[in-house]
Amino acid sequence: MAKRNIYLETIPVEEAVDRAKAALDRISLLATETVPTHLAAGRVTAGPIYARCSSPTFHAAAMDGIAVRAEATFAAREDQPVSLSHGTGFVFVNTGNPLPEGMNAVIMIENVVQKDDITALIDAPAFPWQHVRRIGEDIVATELLISQFRQLMPCDIGALLSAGIYEVQVRERVRAVFLPTGDEVLDFKDRPEPQAGQVIESNSQVFMAYAASWGIDASYTPPVPDHEETLRQAVLDGLAAGNHAVIVGAGSSAGSKDYSKRVFESLGRVLVHGISVMPGKPTLVAVTDERSGHPGRLLVGAPGYPVSAVVCHEKILAPVLSWLMGATPPERATAEVVLARKTPSKPGMREALRLAAGRINERIVAAPLARGAGMITTMTRAQAVTYIPEESEGVDEGETITAELLVPLADLDRVLVHVGSHDNTIDLLANELMGLAEPLRLVSSHAGSMGGLNALKAGSALFAGAHLFDPETADFNFPFIARYLKGLDVTVVNLAIRHQGLIVARGNPLSILGVEDLAREDVLFINRQRGAGTRILLDHHLKTADISPRVVRGYDNEEFTHMAVAVNVLTGAASCGLGIFAAAKALDLDFVPLARERYDLVIPTAHMEDPRIVTLLATIRKEAVKTAINALGGYETDLTGQIMRPGMGLG
């Protein structure tokens, strides 16, 4: 059996960071270099910087007006103005002009009455040094201007140049290289078409984008194959190239092909194997010793799952590499948010929960997104991330938690929080709303139609997308609203009529043309799970066609999503299944329309005046949007934008 690593222990990220800092000597690791001041923003000073010149270097007018000798104005009163002559008594000055010899005050031009070309009248005394910037007011030559280990901000550059400092000694940038690994990963530079068992390498580029925001000098290599000696050589090459840190992507876990730990152990001392946060757990941290040829450098094994890697970047690499350089690690603004759905969490592990968040009335409501470590799109769709603490067993619905914001706080006022059934028309709307001069961000938590109604009831969604068919009344959504949203006044607006149909193999080799064909002996069906709207629709159509479920081969084989149904068809595990057009299109399968259903937006009537909802509805009603929905295929827009009433069915 292949040899596997085991985790010795997992430790909190803070302790992992502390161990790395304690094992690294940041003073000797990074050299210093001289750079022109005007190119030094973001760099960290290597030593204290003292002002060379004062600023101003002279007494300067601080206002546009006239320079005077204050004592000559002391007698001035409103009813007894003092008259001054140009040249001897006053001189015109603009802001920044040096104060003429003998003058010690400036009177603003607005407060000067010009009697004639050479005479000015002053009706109030000026006090000495009024509106004058005196020499050294801002900067005194020789004084400490900037301390050591300061990351230079834009205004620092201004202060340094003003003080006549034209070049500065700064610490080197931290150099770090990212080595993606894995036999199954394809170099994105080859623009590959991935086959089963292959994935496109992207973690290196997420790292590169993060690294740019940290201000480090980052690089990456093509994927390194799963071979211990090859990986060791790649790490040695990274060190030999002068990198202060080598980050190995994937291979830090406990699989039989995870060589990072053994490689790190052969080149130095492993400080951390496993951090108590999910995603992110299989993070390795080590420091090199003499065996590497370059002792005292940092080695990090970043997990392979994209969200795990992100947690490793944000919680381990950002603080450690920033500290190495002497820079301030980036910090996210936080906000108190109300969790929209009960979320259990494993005690003993901190958990990064991605959140779709937006303001609803006075609260910021946050709906948890999917939790898989492999789902990078949960990061692209999230507005916030919260960390459920180690000691917690989870967070209750309605509980207030602190979340790190991925977007500016003000943006949350311009978010439309949608909870409900996912549909591509919602994505289309989201794209449309981002194109407005003042964009609105439509964010979705995919909780199904019933989940959406529940969210409305809990006040944790601005609106819900639903396509609930009631066979009793042959109506959509209203019977369910009447049952589950008692006491909540809602307005229902149709977004589109959606086609469900039989997803069949390309070219429809079995010529499946309708629900009748499901009774055929050569047709193997794949069903959706009990309770799914699509299954209710199927049962309705079988009943109408007078076909017993028992004669449908495969009726008891269940899948949970449209895509999974389509995959069964793609792989030949089934001849057909019921699903939406988009699922067939995604896998390039054929589609036989079977049933039409209404996909409606259910909006609490109290929100109908909310400017975001007003904009949403105006957008839905645009002709261009209807055209775009029709272009998707599998939709009709006859009812789009119209307010629905109970009993309307399909209009």
Subset of 475-534 contacting its own copies (CB under 8 A): none
Sign of torsion over alpha carbons 307, 312, 315, 320: negative
What tokens were used for 622? 């645009």
Nearer to its own copies, 41 or 643 (CB): 41
- Judged by CB under 8 A, the chain residues 352 through 371 that form the site for its own copies are none
Judged by CB, which is closer to its own copies: 409, or 485? 409
Stretch that binds its own copies, among 254-262, 395-403, 469-477, 507-515 (CB under 8 A): 254-262
Measured from the CB atom, is 108 or 617 closer to its own copies?
Answer: 108
Distance CA 456, CA 461 (A): 5
Do 129 and 121 form a contact (C-beta atoms < 8 A)? no
* Rounded Cα distance, 72 and 66, in Å: 13
| Nearer to its own copies (CB atom), residue 159 or residue 538 | 159
Please tell me whether residue 377 binds its own copies under the rule CB under 8 A: yes
Regarding 424 and contact with its own copies (CB under 8 A), the answer is yes
Report the site for its own copies in 300-319 (rule: CB under 8 A).
304-306, 310, 313
CB of 227 to its own copies, least distance (A): 14
Q: Does 428 bind its own copies (CB under 8 A)?
A: yes
Q: From the list 8, 35, 113, 208, which residue makes contact with its own copies (rule: CB under 8 A)?
A: 208
Binding piece for its own copies, criterion CB under 8 A, among 170-178, 292-300, 524-532, 561-569? 561-569
Distance CA 451, CA 457 (A): 10
138: contact with its own copies by CB under 8 A = yes
The reply on whether position 582 binds its own copies by CB under 8 A is: yes
- The CA distance from 81 to 180, in Å, is 81
Nearer to its own copies by C-beta: 299 or 567? 567
CB 348 to its own copies: min, Å: 15
Residue 89 to residue 83: CA distance in whole angstroms = 8
Choice from 200, 240, 513, 614 touching its own copies (CB under 8 A) = 200
Q: How far apart are CA 502 and CA 375, in angstroms?
A: 28
Q: Under the criterion CB under 8 A, does residue 1 sit at the interface with its own copies?
A: yes
Q: How many residues bind its own copies (CB under 8 A)?
A: 129
Q: How far apart are CA 449 and CA 418, in angstroms?
A: 11
Note the residue count of the chain. Answer: 651
98 contacts its own copies (rule: CB under 8 A): yes
Does residue 187 bind its own copies (CB under 8 A)? no
* Minimal distance, residue 31 CB to its own copies, in Å: 16
Determine the Cα–Cα distance for residues 550 and 31; give it in Å rounded to an integer.
Answer: 77
Q: Which residue among 12, 295, 374, 471 contacts its own copies (CB under 8 A)? A: 374
Hey, which residues between 386 and 415 contact its own copies (CB under 8 A)? 406-411
**Closest distance of CB 405 from its own copies, Å:** 9
Of 53-92, binders to its own copies (CB under 8 A) are 53-59, 62, 64, 92
- Quote the least distance from Cβ 650 to its own copies, whole Å: 26
DSSP 485-541: STT--EEEEEEEEEEEEEEE-TT-TT---SGGGGG-TT--EEEEPTT-HHHHHHHHH
> Which span (38-46, 233-241, 445-453, 607-615) binds its own copies, by CB under 8 A?
38-46
Strand arrangement, sheet containing 284-288:
217-220, 175-180, 245-249, 298-302, 284-288, 268-273
> Least distance (Å) from its own copies to the CB of residue 293?
26
Out of 8, 48, 124, 361, point to the residue binding its own copies (CB under 8 A).
Answer: 48
Is 137 a binding residue for its own copies by CB under 8 A? The answer is: yes
Which residues, 6 or more positions from 111, have their beta carbon under 8 angstroms from its beta carbon? 65, 122, 123, 124
**DSSP element (H, E) containing 594:** strand 590-604
Residues 257-276 that bind its own copies (CB under 8 A): 257-258
- From residue 24, give the alpha-carbon distance in Å to each of 264, 288, 294: 15, 10, 13
Question: If you search the block for the tokens 């030949």, which residue do you land on?
Answer: 572
Judged by CB under 8 A, the chain residues 144 through 173 that form the site for its own copies are: 144-150, 153-162, 164, 166
552/525 Cα distance (integer angstroms): 7
Please tell me what DSSP assigns to residue 153: P
Q: Which two tokens stand for residue 615?
A: 């904009």
**Contact with its own copies (CB under 8 A) among 114, 233, 400, 605:** 114
Out of 184, 217, 237, 265, point to the residue binding its own copies (CB under 8 A). 184
Whether residue 166 contacts residue 36, with contact meaning beta carbons closer than 8 Å, is answered with yes
Sequence-distant (6+) residues with CB within 8 A of 339 are 355, 366, 368, 386, 395, 396, 397, 398, 399, 400, 401
Which is closer to its own copies, CB of 139 or CB of 497?
139
Residue number, 83 or 147, with CB nearest to its own copies: 147
The span of 294-302, 326-334, 342-350, 488-496 binding its own copies (CB under 8 A) equals 326-334
CA–CA distance, 272 with 21 (Å, rounded to integer): 12
In this chain, which of 193, 229, 489, 609 binds its own copies, going by CB under 8 A? 193
> Which of 632/650 has CB closer to its own copies?
632
Q: 567 with 505: CB under 8 angstroms?
A: no
